[in-house]
């Protein structure tokens, strides 16, 4: 998807991250999704993927609350709204445009942590295709992945048809991701109920060009968070949501690292500022 570039009233170029976030959940499996079983995949192997090259052009990735500390040590974590279903979710930012990942350099991921949704490839959660119109979720494969083959890599099943430790570990990772996504949905719902989402824009100022806006992002409003009643704070504490609130707010400082890496990678020299609660965000407010 191309970035949404429009002219604002101030003649600024605008990139809307909400329009780049269309990774919604499918209700039925896509054609490339296939349920894992020992009949079809008894001889299948998965090549190691230490550099996560399949994600080198990702500029956003969904994250769970359990990953926040690891993610925010590297990336800004913000909220974006899925344009397909209007659901809000937390994402790690790797770049500002589709195809831009400033943390991937040459053939290596240059950060200390890679989100689970990227680590899981080529596995994913899908519907059991052994059943017609199935509502059962199970471990599936992206059968188009170049990591799959029968000649080299790590086996999914033993010669006797039993699951290998590798396949078991992938199931555990997907289970962790699935449970984490459910908790993230509850977190977003509670933040919405408490009116804590705060829209913001990133204003980029190139040396020899017009300003550009990056829009469609939300963080959490620290002033509103501090103003919550003792009962509301206790509720967030019981839900174990309070630490995540402050981790996400603090992660905005990682935008500086993102911009520094972007300048190094592109050869541009761009200054920036963060505009909290901009006027243009009223239309997309939560």
- Confirm whether 102 is domain-assigned: yes
CB 37 within 8 A of CB 95: no
Strands, E assignment, 116-167: 123-127, 137-142, 148-149, 154-155
Residue 286 has pLDDT above 60, yes or no: no
Count CB-CB contacts under 10 A for residue 29: 16
- Rounded to two decimals, what is the model's pTM? 0.84
Q: Write the pLDDT tens digit of every residue in 167-179.
A: 999 999 999 999 9
CA-closest candidate to residue 44, choices 124, 131, 122: 122
Give the mean model confidence (pLDDT) for residues 83-97. Answer: 90
Contacts of 208 (CB under 8 A, 6+ apart): none
Contacts of 131 (CB under 8 A, 6+ apart): none
Q: Write the pLDDT tens digit of every residue in 204-217.
A: 888 777 888 889 99
CB 88 within 8 A of CB 218: yes
Residue 17 — pLDDT band, cuts 50, 70, 90?
Answer: low
Residue 65 has pLDDT above 80, yes or no: yes
Give the mean model confidence (pLDDT) for residues 154-160. Answer: 96
CB 149 within 8 A of CB 45: yes
Average pLDDT, the chain: 86
Question: Are β-strands 77-81 and 88-93 bridged in parallel, bridged antiparallel, or unpaired?
Answer: antiparallel
Structural domain count of the chain = 1
Q: Write the pLDDT tens digit of every residue in 18-48.
A: 555 444 344 466 788 999 999 999 999 999 9
Give the mean model confidence (pLDDT) for residues 238-255. Answer: 96
- Confirm whether 57 is domain-assigned: yes
Residue 154 — pLDDT band, cuts 50, 70, 90?
Answer: very high
- Confirm whether 1 is domain-assigned: no
- Confirm whether 104 is domain-assigned: yes
Q: Which residue range(s) make up the domain with 157?
A: 6-284
CB 252 within 8 A of CB 167: no
């Amino acid at each position: 998807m191309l970035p949404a570039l429009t002219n604002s009233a101030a003649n600024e170029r605008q990139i809307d991250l909400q329009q780049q976030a269309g990774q919604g959940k499918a209700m039925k499996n896509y054609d490339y999704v296939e349920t894992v079983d020992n009949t079809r995949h008894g001889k299948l192997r998965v090549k190691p993927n230490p550099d996560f090259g399949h994600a080198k052009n990702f500029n956003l990735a969904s994250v769970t609350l359990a990953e926040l500390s690891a993610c925010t040590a590297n990336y800004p974590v913000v909220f974006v709204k899925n344009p397909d279903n209007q659901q809000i979710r937390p994402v790690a930012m790797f770049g500002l445009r589709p195809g831009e990942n400033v943390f991937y350099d040459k053939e290596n991921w240059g950060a200390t942590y890679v989100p689970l949704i990227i680590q899981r490839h080529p596995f994913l959660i899908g519907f059991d295709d052994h059943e017609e119109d199935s509502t059962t979720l199970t471990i599936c494969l992206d059968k188009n992945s170049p990591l799959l083959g029968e000649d080299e890599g790590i086996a999914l099943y033993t010669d006797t048809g039993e699951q290998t430790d590798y396949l078991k570990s992938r199931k555990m990772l997907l289970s962790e991701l699935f449970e984490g996504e459910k908790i993230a949905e509850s977190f977003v719902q509670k933040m919405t109920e408490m009116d804590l989402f705060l829209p913001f824009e990133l204003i980029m100022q190139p040396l020899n060009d017009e300003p550009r806006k990056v829009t469609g992002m939300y963080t959490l409003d620290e002033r509103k968070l501090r103003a919550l009643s003792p009962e509301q704070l206790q509720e967030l504490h019981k839900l174990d949501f309070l630490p995540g609130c402050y981790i996400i707010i603090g992660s905005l400082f990682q935008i500086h690292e993102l911009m520094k890496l972007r300048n190094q990678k592109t050869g541009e020299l761009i200054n920036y500022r963060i505009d909290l609660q901009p006027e243009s965000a009223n239309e997309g407010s939560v």
